[in-house]
């Protein structure tokens, strides 16, 4: 019997020695099959800016951030939140969680792209997953561009002694050119929204890549038109420089391509505006950003009715809650007068051009005859503000300067703290107009 056991163990010795641990797969032993690439591409979706961002950077250290710090215009002068730019409190530190997290996920995308070049199978087997990696690399670099201007560009998988770790910043033009190139490559390899199975919805579509490219080009062209080269610096002692790659598009070309891409998305027929103003007292824009199940709005609408969002991070009350008090955080993100003044009048004119604007004699005149989105974004303490002739009077006082966007309907009765799970929108149809 003992001899039999020894023979059995000897026969299995090779298998024991070569057994791969599923929880300890290395890059060298992975990326062998299309399923490996699919799994790696799916993991990149964790990097989408969303309600919470919890990233492990070592066995003992995690970076916890959430997009609320960057949402609700806290990164602009439209918000009067105590740590926002609207208060003039700009105190840059030595670290930044956006920088750290973005480069962490850029590395993940670079790994997949490098392994894609080494893949021995048919390229079409992994085409969609390689395209997704290009999309995500562009997504994070565009976010860095908006936050920092020019930053170091890394398109390879670095080691601890790679010279790129101490390289200078690339110019914003080099960064935009990479974003453009990556997204154009992604567009070629991604499926149309209509061809994504219902079980795979939320995966990146060709239209999502087109939308992000349009937004990137519009952002940079607008920057170059109104800011110009004043922030470029010399690329050494200050700023990131003015180096432009060969083939860099002109400002007008960027505007035109952004318009063409946007029209292509709108003409695809895969998306439509979420307009339930008749059922929701002209507050579709408010309820759209709080859409959960039938209890999230007076009309009993759920997420299946939303065909407006093109790129989004999907939450679910059972499978993926927001893990943060979305309603409370959005409510205390107060907005300033400059933001209110940006909303048009019902005749389509700005307040300084429209005869409908009644001025600021008291606090509520400015609310008459305004774009419905104003009431959707800044509604005050009321759970619901029915838009009528009495609306401005209801908003009298200091109340209207509080933000309502993302604040759950009937909070906290419908959703208690940490239980909200509205979709986190990243790109929608209205942004293509």
Give 213-235 pLDDT, tens digit per residue: 999 999 999 999 999 999 999 99
Residue 88 clears pLDDT 90, i.e. is over it: no
Number of Cβ within a 10 Å radius of residue 114: 15
Residues 15 and 168: their CA atoms lie apart, in Å, by 49
Number of Cβ within a 10 Å radius of residue 76: 14
pTM: 0.83
Residue 276 belongs to a domain? no
Residue 371 clears pLDDT 70, i.e. is over it: yes
* DSSP β-bridge partners for residue 335: 79
- Name the DSSP class of 432: G
- What burial letters (b/e) apply to 5-37, b meaning 16+ CB within 10 Å? eeeeeeeeeeeeeeeeeeeeeeeeeebeebebb
Residue 386 belongs to a domain? no
Higher pLDDT, 18 or 364: 364
Structural domain count, the chain: 1
**% pLDDT > 90, the chain:** 44
Provide the pLDDT confidence category of residue 427 given band limits of 50, 70 and 90.
Answer: low
Per-residue pLDDT tens over the stretch 20-59? 555 555 666 689 999 999 999 999 988 887 776 554 445 5
Residue 289 belongs to a domain? no
Residue 22 belongs to a domain? no
Provide the pLDDT confidence category of residue 9 given band limits of 50, 70 and 90.
Answer: very low
Stretch 171-178: mean pLDDT: 98
The tokens of 385 are what? 């503000």
CATH of the domain at 173: 1.25.40.390
pLDDT at 340: 86
Residues 101 and 103: their CA atoms lie apart, in Å, by 6
List the domain range (segments joined by +) for residue 176: 30-267
Residue 304 belongs to a domain? no
Residue 361 belongs to a domain? no
Per-residue pLDDT tens over the stretch 381-408? 444 555 566 555 555 554 446 777 777 8
**Dihedral of the alpha carbons of 396, 398, 403, 408, in degrees to the nearest 10:** -70
Residues 288 and 408: their CA atoms lie apart, in Å, by 11
**Which of 127-136, 267-276, 400-409 has the highest mean predicted lDDT (pLDDT)?**
127-136
Contact 425, 309 (CB under 8 A): yes
Rounded to the nearest 5°, which phi and psi values hold at 176? -60, -40
Residue 163 belongs to a domain? yes
Stretch 66-88: mean pLDDT: 60
Residues 151 and 142: their CA atoms lie apart, in Å, by 10
Residue with tokens 């992994």: 126
pLDDT at 424: 59
pLDDT at 335: 76
Residue 87 belongs to a domain? yes
Stretch 395-422: mean pLDDT: 67
pLDDT at 381: 46
Helix/strand/coil for 110: helix
């Amino acid at each position: 019997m003992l001899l039999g056991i020894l023979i059995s163990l000897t026969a299995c010795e090779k298998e024991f020695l070569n057994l791969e641990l599923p929880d300890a797969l290395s890059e060298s032993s992975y990326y062998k099959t299309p399923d490996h690439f699919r799994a790696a591409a799916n993991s990149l979706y964790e990097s989408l800016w969303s309600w919470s961002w919890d990233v492990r950077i070592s066995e003992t250290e995690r970076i916890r951030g959430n997009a609320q710090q960057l949402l609700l215009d806290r990164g602009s002068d439209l918000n009067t939140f105590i740590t926002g730019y609207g208060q003039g409190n700009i105190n840059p530190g030595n670290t930044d969680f956006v920088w750290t997290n973005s480069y962490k996920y850029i590395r993940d995308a670079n790994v997949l792209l490098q392994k894609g070049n080494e893949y021995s199978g048919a390229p079409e087997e992994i085409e969609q997953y390689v395209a997704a990696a290009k999309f995500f690399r562009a997504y994070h670099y565009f976010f860095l561009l908006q936050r920092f201007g020019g930053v170091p560009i890394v398109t390879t998988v670095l080691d601890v002694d790679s010279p790129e770790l101490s390289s200078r910043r690339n110019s914003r033009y080099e960064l935009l050119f990479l974003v453009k190139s990556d997204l154009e490559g992604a567009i070629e390899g991604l499926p149309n929204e209509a061809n994504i199975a219902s079980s795979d919805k939320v995966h990146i579509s060709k239209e999502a890549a087109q939308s992000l490219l349009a937004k990137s080009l519009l952002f940079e062209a607008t920057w170059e038109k109104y800011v110009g080269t004043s922030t470029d610096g010399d690329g050494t002692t200050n700023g990131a420089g003015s180096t432009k790659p060969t083939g860099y598009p002109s400002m007008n070309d960027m505007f035109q391509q952004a318009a063409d891409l946007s029209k292509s998305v709108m003409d695809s027929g895969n998306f439509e505006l979420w307009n339930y103003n008749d059922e929701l007292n002209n507050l579709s824009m408010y309820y759209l950003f709080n859409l959960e199940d039938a209890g999230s709005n007076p009309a009993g609408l759920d997420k299946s009715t939303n065909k407006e969002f093109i790129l989004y991070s999907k939450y679910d009350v059972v499978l993926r809650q927001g893990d943060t008090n979305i309603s409370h955080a959005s409510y205390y993100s107060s907005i300033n007068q400059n933001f209110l003044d940006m909303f048009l009048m019902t005749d389509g004119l700005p307040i300084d051009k429209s005869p409908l604007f009644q001025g600021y004699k008291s606090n509520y005149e400015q609310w008459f005859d305004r774009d419905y989105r104003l009431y959707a974004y800044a509604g005050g303490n009321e759970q619901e503000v029915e838009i009528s002739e009495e609306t401005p009077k209801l908003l009298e006082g200091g109340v209207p300067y509080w933000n309502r966007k993302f604040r759950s309907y009937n909070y906290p009765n419908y959703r208690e703290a940490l239980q909200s799970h509205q979709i986190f929108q990243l790109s929608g149809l209205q942004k293509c107009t």
